[in-house]
Amino acid sequence: MDTISKIAIEVARQAVPDEIHQARLVAENFVKGGKRRKELLQPARAGELGGFGFGDASLLAWIFHAMTEAAPLLAGFLASKTIDNSALIVSEIRSALDARRPSHQHQEQPDQQQLQQNAFSSPPQSQFYTGPKQLQQCVVALGNALQKSGLPSEESEKVAYRAIGALWEEAPDALVFLRKITEKK
């Protein structure tokens, strides 16, 4: 599987799982740019998004579009990934998503092994402040771009965190993906 497909599928899996079956096609057409990209972002029937007629894929296309708008921030953030800050960023993303869930849907408390693992992988103090700040900047940029598609503010933020989490897990390939989706307009 090529890098573009791999990252597209991972973003779909984490951010919009109902659209995973169309991830590869949406990514291919988005990367081609021009008319194909515009069609992905055009309203379809009855105000639904998704110019190819599969309204399901519209949010994924808008996520890719938001990534192109936030590409400089995302690229800097992804390039800053180190072993030291990885656990912190994953923890920040999980905490942010947990905080946005209704209280009855919160996941179980982390077990003792997870707490010990996080304690041993604490980042140096300088990265503690940089990583979350960069993460917040990326979330705001992606969230704002997603709101332009008509997605409500709270949902935009959740989708942004999930998409960024998917990119973070695959940082080196995600940088290639970002470069490819921003090459053509």
pLDDT in tens, 137-185: 999 999 999 998 889 999 999 999 999 999 999 999 999 999 999 997 7
Number of domains in the chain: 1
Structural domain of 19: 3-183
User: In whole angstroms, what is the distance from residue 46 CA to residue 54 CA?
Assistant: 13
* Structure token digits, residue 155: 């949902």
For position 118, what pLDDT does the model report? 41
pTM: 0.76
Whether the CB-CB separation of 28 and 35 falls below 8 Å is answered with no
* Residues of the chain predicted below pLDDT 50: 47-48, 50-57, 104-130
User: In whole angstroms, what is the distance from residue 100 CA to residue 94 CA?
Assistant: 10
For position 44, what pLDDT does the model report? 58
